[in-house]
Chains A and B, each alone.
Chain A
Amino acid sequence: MAIISRGFSSRRSAEDAKLPPGQYLTTDFPVLSAGPTPHVSLDQWEFTIDDGTNQLRKWDWQAFRNLPTETIRVDLHCVTRWSKLGTTWEGVSIDRLLAEIQMDASFVLVHSYGGYTTNLPLKDLLNNQAWIAFRYEHEDLAPEHGGPARLLVPHLYLWKSAKWVRGLTLMHEDRPGFWESLGYHNYGDPWREQRYGGD
């Protein structure tokens, strides 16, 4: 049974109704990262897909930017409880990047410049649910928000949308990433409020 906080009342607006449980609306774009922001130059940038043993595909920036792109308009939900609605991104869909790869994997570990990792079921990256995004609100993605390019998986809490992304490892077995090893939920569905392990 909840304890009533005498004198406490809501300051919410009607727009908050669209939010997942426990989230509040912000118009800022807060930054949460575990360490310094890596600054990756475009001539050094590369994006790889491997199966844990062999490299399957690799793109440099030019090759990546030659791929067809999509404009994506989505809501963002961070586990620290802010949500931001109607953000616009440009990116390459993961379906496109995986198109020519023969796979029987079920899970993916996402790797970033700077050492960050996060894990997802492969099916959450397929069928137009995830992108490698390089523009935010029609401008090049700023380093503190994950530029040159970040993963965008908007149906999960934002820590799954790894900043400074550099590659994907396709796996048969699930393996926890950085925050998933430090007490956060393995899957992270905001609509089921899967914030911490055990939720």
Chain B
Amino acid sequence: MWRVGKVTALHDETATARTITLEVPYWPGHVGGQHVDVRLTAANGYSAVRSYSIASAPNLEGRLEITVERLATGEVSPYLTQELSIGDRLELRGPIGGWFVWRPHQSEPIQLIAGGSGIVPLMAMIRSRVSSGSTTPFRLLYSVREPAAVFYRDELQALSDHDSVVSVTYAYTRDAPKDWPRPPGRIDAALIANTTWQSNLGSTCYVCGPTSFVESVTGLLVAGGHSPNNIRTERFGPTGDRR
């Protein structure tokens, strides 16, 4: 069934990504990692639907946040990131997905690995850990093009500094901050070995990002001794090697 959400806040995460906060009466609740379908309808009746990961933790207020990255040739994301205004209403369906989720009863160490906007469902898991009062250890390895492309920077900083909710490692692929200890580059075996949970701890790994990123990272995790059964993935975008 389609529900109606009202836009209550808009926040630009980066130059191309915007967080949309919606108030959704009778939202049935969700768990971290799930997504929601958003339907836009034009004046002539044409409609388009896309799925977006939910960024917010479950809550009792019917508040839902999604963070949308603008795709230059997209049909829906340019509208959501540039046209949508506070007070507008959006049609929503969900929550959807029962596999790429973290539930508060999980007690094993959690390893999150994000590529670019793949951070969104992982952020929902981190926020769920906070709101549920779980003390499960979380680590996040976040691969991003450059400092200006980081989503949720201040919140991640606060969660890692003050409350030790999650330990965060950034991997910059193109431009790193001045004096950054690691030269810009993709996640490699050494970074996996030095910053993620050891494979013998029984951790669950959640990897989300572009297809080529997920293929590469899961390959490194398996080569590093992680059981494929403990690795959950969500991929988006085209294949890395087109032909």
Contacts and interface: CB of A to CB of B under 8 A. Distances in A.
Interface in B15-74: 39-51
A35 B232 contact: yes
B180 interface: no
B91 A2 contact: yes
Interface in A142-162: 142, 144-145
Interface residues of B, number: 46
A99 interface: no
A182 B99 contact: yes
A22 interface: yes
A5 B41 contact: yes
B183 interface: no
Contact of A81 (B42, B50, B100): B50
Given A33-B235, A35-B231, A35-B233, A80 B42 contact: no
Contact of B235 (A8, A24, A32): A32
B242 A28 contact: yes
A14 interface: no
Nearest to B41: A2
Contacts of A5: 40-42, 79, 83-84, 88, 90
B158 to A, nearest CB: 32
B97 interface: yes
A36 B235 contact: no
A7 B79 contact: yes
Given A10-B75, A182-B97, A4 B43 contact: yes
A183 B40 contact: no
Contact of A4 (B42, B83, B229): B42
A129 B219 CA distance: 34
B202 interface: no
Contacts of A10: 42, 44, 46, 48, 75
Interface of B: 4, 39-51, 75, 79, 83-84, 88-91, 96-100, 211, 215, 218-219, 221-222, 228-229, 231-233, 235-239, 241-243
